[in-house]
Amino acid sequence: MDVDEILLDCEDKMQKAVDYLTGELKGIRTGRASPALVEFIKVDYYGSPTDLRQIAQVSVPEPTQLLIKPYDAGAIQDISKALQSSGLGLNPNVEGKAIRLNLPPLSGERRQQLAGSVKSMAEQAKVAIRNVRRDANKHIDQAEKDKASGVTEDEAKAAKEEVQDLIKKYEGQVDAATEAKRKEILED
């Protein structure tokens, strides 16, 4: 593996860590209703765990309400069970062929808990990014030791500096996404 491949792989993995964090942050509840809050809840649909978004349409009829319309009306009880056991503190109201979720206003204590969980998610993303850096640096060292690869000491040093620049860039993106979400949670 040459240095360019190592750097491309490193950047790709760091971007995936940031993308994963961004997706997770969408599922964190704020004062407003958002389909992202429930899209990835796993529903036991005919014996296999399936994302809610694959078996139902989620809409926002009012700012503090979600409306879930399953494509298969027979799945409504499974969806209701999954919502109750999701840990989001939501009580689904089954209305015929749809489910309504009323989102109560967040208390100050709950806002602080959510802000804390956002912070821990960000730290996990940073750890993942640092692990990518460690692996990339190992690959660079290996390429330098392997005389057949033709990587010189100067090239290895430059590549490690580039990896360090990448980590600063992606940790900055994690910090920006986290701070925006924390503001959204605490100010609503």
Picking from 130, 100, 113, the residue whose alpha carbon sits closest to that of residue 186 is 113
Residue-wise DSSP of 35-103? GGGTTT-EEEETTEEEEHHHHEEEEEEETTEEEEEESSGGGHHHHHHHHHTTSS---EEEETTEEEEE-
Residue 63's pLDDT band (cuts 50, 70, 90):
confident
pLDDT band at 151 (very low <50, low <70, confident <90, very high): confident
Structure tokens at 58: 């989620």
Per-residue pLDDT, 111: 81
pLDDT tier at 53, thresholds 50, 70, 90: confident
Across the chain, mean pLDDT equals 87
Question: If pLDDT is split at 50, 70 and 90, which confidence band does 174 have?
Answer: very high
Give the pLDDT band of residue 188 (cuts 50, 70, 90). Answer: low
Q: Domains along the chain?
A: 3-26+107-187 (1.10.132.20), 35-102 (3.30.1360.40)
pLDDT at res. 162: 94
- Supply the pLDDT for residue 29: 67
pLDDT in tens, 99-146: 998 887 777 887 888 888 889 999 999 999 999 999 999 999 998 888
Rounded to an integer, the average pLDDT of 89-95 is 84
Judged by average pLDDT, the poorest of 29-38, 48-57, 102-111, 164-173 is: 29-38
In this predicted structure, the answer to whether residue 40 has a pLDDT above a threshold of 70 is yes
β-partners of residue 44 are: 49
pLDDT tens-digit map of 66-81:
899 999 888 898 998 8
